[in-house]
Structure 1
Amino acid sequence: MAEFKNPFMDFDVQKMMGEFKIPNVDVDGIVAAHKKNFDAIAQANQIAAEGMQAIMKRQSEIAQAAIVEVQSNLQAIATQGAPEEKLAQQASIAKSTLEQALGNLKELQEMVAKSNAEASGIINKRIMESLDEVKTAIEKTKS
């Protein structure tokens, strides 16, 4: 069976654009700008992926801690004597569990926000650089 070869892998944009010989077009500059764009996107994706991995790891840690705490709480409730004591213990556990869940939720939300801010910061920086490059290219064509 013949091996599949992607016809687009040998496509050289720089060579193709160079053949057109368009005046006042910096083909090398365009190719370099697109390479910088792809690099910025790759870097932003890497940061986003690392952030999501950290969040998943933290969620796993939270779940494991919750399981241990539930087991401990069930044992504590089982050892209580009177129904009133068990009810008071359950109310106390419910309150602390809710507070802990809200704290965990806030922590995870902050992790997501930080990861998103870092990734979007890279893209925003590249956009600003790209606009400066366009401005410089326009000024070059005027002179």
Structure 2
Amino acid sequence: MADQPFNAAFGQAQQQMQKAAEEFGRMFKAVPAMPDMAGAMASYQRNLDALAQANRIAIEGVQAVMRRQAEVVQQTMAELAETVKTLSGAGIAKVNPAKNAEAIKDAYAKAVSHSKELADLMQRANTEATEVLHKRVSAALDEAKALAGSK
């Protein structure tokens, strides 16, 4: 008879454990199944590859701009040295204001042209990098849709 309270408590504990296990099972069924892990990892790797490619394109673009800027600076300095040489050889008496104004106008036009060229270089690199990312995002969304549909 002393065992009856123990047996009753043990029986209740067993029933509670069984109910908890059943509840856990119902709860687990509500969780969506894990997608194809290999497919998900392959998709993630393609995302990283696309990001690395976009970064390479952006870095190459910056390097191209820097190289071109260095060329422009060298060219400008050579032209400036030639102008100074010409002006110093001409002397103050032979300075022609109209010619000087034309030289300044030409220098300004070159500076604007170089600025546009550098901006175009950077824009091309950014467009290429963005296109790589755009294609990958589109493909990743298609992959996610396919993974969701395969359940």
Q: Does 1:31 align with 2:41?
A: yes
Q: Which amino acid aligns with 1:90?
A: N
How far apart, CA to CA, are the structure 1 residues paired with 2:148 and 2:114? 51
Kept in 2: contact 1:77–1:86 (CA 8 A): no
| Ranges in structure 1 where 5+ consecutive residues have no aligned partner | 1-21
Kept in 2: contact 1:51–1:112 (CA 8 A): yes
Q: Which ranges of 4 or more aligned residues in structure 1 deviate by more than 6 Å?
A: none
Q: Which amino acid aligns with 2:41?
A: V
Q: Which amino acid aligns with 1:118?
A: E
Equivalence for 1:135: 145
Which digits, 9 at most, give the CA deviation of each residue in 1:33-81, with x for residues without a partner?
A: 1100000000111111111111100000000000000011111222335
Which digits, 9 at most, give the CA deviation of each residue in 1:93-124, with x for residues without a partner?
A: 11000000000000001000000000011000
Q: RCO greater where, 1 or 2, for CA within 8 Å and sep 6 or more?
A: 2
How far apart, CA to CA, are the structure 2 residues paired with 1:48 and 1:121? 12
Matching of residues 101-120 of structure 1 within 5 Å: 101-120=111-130
Q: Could you say what the CA RMSD is over the residues aligned between the two structures, in angstroms?
A: 1.6
How far apart, CA to CA, are the structure 2 residues paired with 1:133 and 1:140? 11
Equivalence for 2:135: 125
TM-score, normalized by length of structure 1?
Answer: 0.78
Kept in 1: contact 2:35–2:148 (CA 8 A): no
Aligned residues: 120
Bigger Rg, which one: 2
| Matched-pair identity in % | 32
| Ranges in structure 2 where 5+ consecutive residues have no aligned partner | 1-31
